């Protein structure tokens, strides 16, 4: 099977949910322990009035325990729905086969967390509703930029499940098809000469070569951003380098299962095992920054594109 048909699958599980589950479990154990200890002290020489108090206390304790168990069960069911759907579904070539016929919506999911506002924006725009057991792995354009701090922007083709017991589970798709369209020459005059960057696209890769006149060692930074990402930038290369290469698309198609509450840019970056990442299609900006021996900073910025053809939606 070639790279075009391989699909790597991830399940997002937010650390916040794990913390809540552990906290509820701890409170439950603590409450039961206190209850048992109290009853053992009271039951020995208990009067009629004391026994009535014990019964009321037991009823109250039972209600609290039941509420804690119910809350824990609800949390676990909601967050494990994505993992269950992922484990019960099968990926065959370019299709996903669900365990049963499900109703779902096709659409676009947008995630945004920019340093200016410091609050997360999450939005799913549905485009059409379907019901089926088999769907195609979507080969559609996506965009993704995430800083090491978890800030950034992302837009994915997505499927939102509407049927129980998987209601609210999201499927996000990252295609590996595309071509980098770029051929740029950037020059930066400094206090002691000039520094040049020749950058071009080759398949899925962005390739760059750096040189200076007169020839000398100089520190540079190569940063990528997207127009809708505000001031968010990710460094893809830096130091006294002479050349670099960067993959603008994943090697394999990627399928992400997640409950709506589990979706975050930081969790996606962790699953991709990337400390800062820029991937996808559309227009990107490359910034070439230089710091000379006098600590003066210079930079140039240019745009380039990653294009994909023959994308298809549907069942």
Hey, where are the domains in the chain? Answer: 7-12+86-174, 15-79, 179-250+264-307
At 3, the pLDDT band (50, 70, 90 cuts) reads very low
Cis upstream peptide for 153 (omega within 30°): no
Q: Is the pLDDT of residue 294 over 60?
A: no
pLDDT digits (tens, 9 = 90+) for 11-39: 887 655 555 666 666 766 776 676 667 66
Assess whether pLDDT exceeds 90 at residue 214. Answer: no
pLDDT of residue 315: 35
Q: Contact at 8 Å (CB) between 107 and 160?
A: yes
Report how far apart, in Å, the C-alpha atoms of 181 and of each of 8, 161, 184 are: 26, 36, 10
Measured between alpha carbons, how far is 279 from 12 in angstroms, rounded to an integer? 19
Is 225's pLDDT higher than 90? yes
pLDDT confidence tier of residue 119, bands split at 50, 70 and 90: low
Of the candidate ranges 52-61, 145-154, 170-179, 237-246, the one whose mean pLDDT is the lowest: 52-61
CATH, domain range 179-250+264-307: 2.60.40.10
* Separation in Å, CA 209 to CA 49, 81, 234, 256: 87, 47, 19, 35
Under DSSP, is residue 167 helix (H, G, I), strand (E, B) or coil? coil
What is the predicted pLDDT for the residue at 21? 61
pLDDT at 204 over 70: yes
For the chain, give the percent of residues with pLDDT over 90. 37
Whether pLDDT at 50 is above 60: yes
Q: What is the rounded distance in angstroms from the CA atom of residue 218 to the CA atom of residue 290?
A: 8
- pLDDT for the residue 247: 94
Is the pLDDT score of 51 beyond 70?
A: no
């Amino acid at each position: 099977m070639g790279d075009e048909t391989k699909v790597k699958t991830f399940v997002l599980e937010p650390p916040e949910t794990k913390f809540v589950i552990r906290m509820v479990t701890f409170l439950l154990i603590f409450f039961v322990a206190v209850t048992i200890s109290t009853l053992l002290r009271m039951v020995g020489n208990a009067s009629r009035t004391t026994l009535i108090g014990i019964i009321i206390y037991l009823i109250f304790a039972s209600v609290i325990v039941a509420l804690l168990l119910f809350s824990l069960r609800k949390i676990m069911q909601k967050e494990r729905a994505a993992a269950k759907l992922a484990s019960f579904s099968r990926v065959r070539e370019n299709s996903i086969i669900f365990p049963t016929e499900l109703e779902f919506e096709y659409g676009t999911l947008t995630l945004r967390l920019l340093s200016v506002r410091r609050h997360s924006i999450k939005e799913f725009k549905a485009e059409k509703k379907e019901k089926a057991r088999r769907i195609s792995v979507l080969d559609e354009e996506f965009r993704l930029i995430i800083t090491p701090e978890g800030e950034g922007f992302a837009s994915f083709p997505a499927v939102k499940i509407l049927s129980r017991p998987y209601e609210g589970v999201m499927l996000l798709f990252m295609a590996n098809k595309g071509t980098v369209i770029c051929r740029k020459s950037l020059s930066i005059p400094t206090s002691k000469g000039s520094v040049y960057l020749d950058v071009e696209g080759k398949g899925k890769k962005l390739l760059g070569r750096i040189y200076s006149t007169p020839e000398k060692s100089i520190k540079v930074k190569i940063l990528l951003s997207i127009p809708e990402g505000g001031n968010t930038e990710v460094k893809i290369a830096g130091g006294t380098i002479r050349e670099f290469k960067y993959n603008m698309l994943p090697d394999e198609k990627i399928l992400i299962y997640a409950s709506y509450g589990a979706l975050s840019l930081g969790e996606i970056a962790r699953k991709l095992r990337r400390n800062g990442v820029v991937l996808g299609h559309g227009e990107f900006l490359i910034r070439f920054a230089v710091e000379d021996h006098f600590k003066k900073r210079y930079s140039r910025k240019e745009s380039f594109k990653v294009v994909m053809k023959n994308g298809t939606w549907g069942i």
